[in-house]
Amino acid sequence: MKLPEITDSHCHLDFDSFDEDRGDVIARAQAAGVTRMVTICTRLRQEPAVRAIAEANRPVFYAAGTHPMSVADEPMATVDELVALAHHPKFVGIGETGLDYHYSAQSAHVQQQSLRIHIEAAQETQLPLIIHARNADEDMAQILGEAMARKAYPCVMHCFSSGPDLARAALEMGCYLSMSGIAAFPRSKDLREIFASAPVERILVETDSPYLAPPPHRGRRNEPAYSALTAQVGAEVFGMDYPAFAAQTQQNFDRLFAKAAGWAGTQ
d(CA 135, CA 183): 17
Mean predicted confidence (pLDDT) in 2-29: 97
Contact 234, 179 (CB under 8 A): yes
In a domain, 19, yes or no: yes
Phi, psi at 60, each rounded to 5°: -105, 130
Average pLDDT estimate for 259-264: 94
Residue 192's Cβ-side half-sphere holds a number of Cα atoms within 13 Å equal to 19
Q: Alpha-carbon distance 141 to 38, whole Å?
A: 25
Per the domain annotation, does 267 fall within a domain? no
Into how many domains does the chain fold?
1
Rounded-to-integer distance, Cα 114 and Cα 95, Å: 10
Beta-carbon count within 10 A of 119 CB: 25
- pLDDT of residue 12 exceeding 60, the answer is yes
- pLDDT at position 2: 85
State pTM to two decimals: 0.97
- Under the phi-then-psi rule, with left for phi > 0, alpha for psi from -120 to 50, and beta for the rest, what region is 62? beta
Whether pLDDT at 267 is above 90: no
Domain assignment present for residue 1? The answer is no
The CATH number of the domain holding residue 209 is 3.20.20.140
pLDDT of residue 207 exceeding 80: yes
Q: Residue 62 in contact with residue 39, Cβ under 8 Å?
A: yes
First to last CA, the chain: 26
DSSP code at position 95: E
Distances in whole angstroms, Cα of residue 252 to Cα of each of 56, 245, 249, 257: 26, 10, 5, 8
Q: Domain limits at 188? A: 6-262
Mean pLDDT of 20-33: 97
pLDDT band of 266, cuts 50, 70, 90: low
Q: In sequence order, what DSSP letters do the residues of 108-168 get, joined into one string?
A: HHHHHHHHHHHHHHHHHH-PPEEEEEES-HHHHHHHHHHHHHHS---EEETT--S-HHHHH
Q: Are 36 and 7 in contact (CB under 8 A)?
A: yes
β-pairing, 176-179 vs 129-134, is: unpaired
Give CA torsion, residues 6, 31, 237, 133, to 10 deg.
-60
Establish if 126 belongs to a structural domain.
yes
Separation of alpha carbons 245 and 248, rounded Å: 5
Average pLDDT of the residues in 134-151: 97
* Residue 36 in domain: yes
